[in-house]
Amino acid sequence: MTNQTEVIVYGAEVLCPSCVNLPSSKEQYDWLQAAISRKFGEEGIQYTYVDIFNPPEEEPYHSFAKQVVDEDLIYPVVFVDDELVGEGDPRLKRVYKALESRGFEPTA
C-alpha cells in the first residue's frame, strides 16, 4: 500500500446550479469520508476540502479551484491524488477503484 493518498473535494457551500436536489459539496465530502473510512479504514488516507470561492493559496488547490469557477465545472469535483474520479454526483465505485489501484484493500 502507498504511504499516503489524498482525497480532495473541490466545492462550495452554495449548491451548484446543475445540482438541484443533491446534497451540498460539504455534505458530500463528509459522506465520502465516512464511506471510505468504513470500507478501507482511516490509515493512509488524507482528506482535503477546498472551498472554490475561498481557496487556500497553496498549489495545486488554488489553481484548480479557480478552474472550477472559470470553467463552470459541476461541483463537487473529487480527486484521488491527481486522478479525477467524480464531478457533480461522485460515485463511490470510481472512488473505491482509484483507492484500490493505489494498494488499499477493504477492511474485514
Burial of 57 (0-12, 13-18, 19+ CB in 10 A): exposed
C-alpha cell at 107: 477492511
pLDDT at 75 over 80: yes
Q: Where are the strands (E) in the chain, listed by range?
A: 5-11, 45-51, 77-80, 83-87
Q: What is the CATH number of the domain that holds 93?
A: 3.40.30.30
**95 inside domain:** yes
**How many domains are there within the chain?**
1
Range of the domain at 93: 5-101
pLDDT at 2: 46
**38 inside domain:** yes
pLDDT at 108: 63
pLDDT tens sequence across 6-62: 999 999 987 766 666 778 899 999 999 999 999 999 899 999 999 999 999 999 999
**106 inside domain:** no
